[in-house]
Amino acid sequence: MIRHLPSSQKENARHGEQMFPLQKYITTLSDSYPAVTAHWHEEAEFTLITEGCCSYQIQLASYEVCPGDIIFLPPAVLHSIQAPAGEQMMSETYVFHMNFLGISNADVCAVRYLTPLAAQKLIPPFVIKKEHPAYPDALSLFHAVSKAYGCAAYGYELMLKSLLLQLIAVLLPYCRKESELPQLYNEHARKLKLVLEYIEAHYSEPLCVADLASLCCFSEYHFMRFFKKYVGLSCMDYVRSIRLEKAAELFGQGNSSALEVSLSVGFGNLSYFHREFKKKFGMTPKKFCESLEKLPQLSQPAVPYTGMHTKLPPYPPQRKEETPSE
């Protein structure tokens, strides 16, 4: 099964199953679809860059990453990815909920380590390069996770759980406490999340810079600079991108009327919607729907905002869900 996840603010997609909340993804960025827009989710991520270089924006800080670099993101960490022009980036990622590791247990591991990590009271190194002291152990653990997931031998769930707990133990000595971060840094991260949540809830309604700026108590000028600095797009370009991704979701769910879809995601002009959709996806809405009709029937329908459970034409970002073999 292949799942294409729209890269919108707070993801509501379920990664894995309730009893086994862990999922492997292969992410590909290129000139066609060069970015994963700013978002966060309730799960943690463990990633290895396998091909090409790119720029990660993590909690307002920028990191240049290359093949072999490891990224660890705790829950609710705001992040985006941008591939440079002319390059393809590929990564292998394991997304897992902290419940899988026992965060809900009333024991010393949950109280002292897992809960503070999930609540961002403990801040791990987000990017682990070859010169980092934890790199050899982190890389060894990543390969062990990949092997266990791929083989899916009897008891592999226990093996994965133990490996991810080992990863956290390896990173703990290098964690910082929240109090060590600048207050302005935390305030800016909070305000940016607030704006992105508002856009997610109101993308289908008329939005303007003044309304978004007022959420942060910024002037319009200050807000536009603030948003562009941390997201990499102007706020209205970002809103348009989110609306187009939502439109592609609706087409993937069987909605074929371009007029109805365009109105439901906040476009008041059909011609403008057609033009922007083609610019983003490389085809008109009609061609996009026709390409979907040629695909095999799904065993279950796509669910709003959980990604499209089918093979689609190149869809930004191309993030393929891999289910372990039985």
Torsion of CA 201, 203, 204, 208, to 10 degrees: 120
Task: Give the domain extent around 109.
Answer: 3-180
pLDDT in tens, 132-179: 999 999 999 999 999 999 999 999 999 999 999 999 999 999 998 876
Question: Does residue 50 lie within any of the structural domains?
Answer: yes
Cα→Cα distances 222→152, 190, 229, Å: 51, 16, 11
**Cα separation of 152 and 22, whole Å?**
13
Residue 44 backbone phi and psi in degrees, to 5:
-90, 160
Beta strands in the chain (DSSP E): 3-4, 22-29, 35-39, 44-51, 54-58, 61-65, 70-73, 79-82, 89-96, 122-123, 127-128, 176-177, 308-309, 318-322
Question: Does residue 34 lie within any of the structural domains?
Answer: yes
Question: Does residue 258 lie within any of the structural domains?
Answer: no
- The CATH code of the domain that includes 130 is 2.60.120.280
Is residue 41 within 8 A of residue 75, CB to CB? The reply is yes
> Closest Cα partner for 164 from 249, 101, 83, 79?
101
**Tokens 């590929």 appear where?**
90
**Tokens 């070859």 appear where?**
130
Question: Does residue 113 lie within any of the structural domains?
Answer: yes
pLDDT in tens, 1-55: 333 333 344 555 556 678 899 999 999 888 777 788 888 888 999 999 999 999 9
Average pLDDT of the chain is: 83
Question: Does residue 150 lie within any of the structural domains?
Answer: yes
The dihedral through the CA atoms of 167, 172, 177, 180 has a sign that is: negative
Question: Does residue 65 lie within any of the structural domains?
Answer: yes
Overall domain count for the chain: 1
Helix axes 209-216, 220-231, angle to 10 degrees: 80
Question: Does residue 269 lie within any of the structural domains?
Answer: no
Question: Does residue 289 lie within any of the structural domains?
Answer: no
In this prediction the pTM is 0.71
pLDDT in tens, 55-112: 998 987 889 999 999 999 999 888 889 888 888 999 999 999 999 999 988 899 999 9
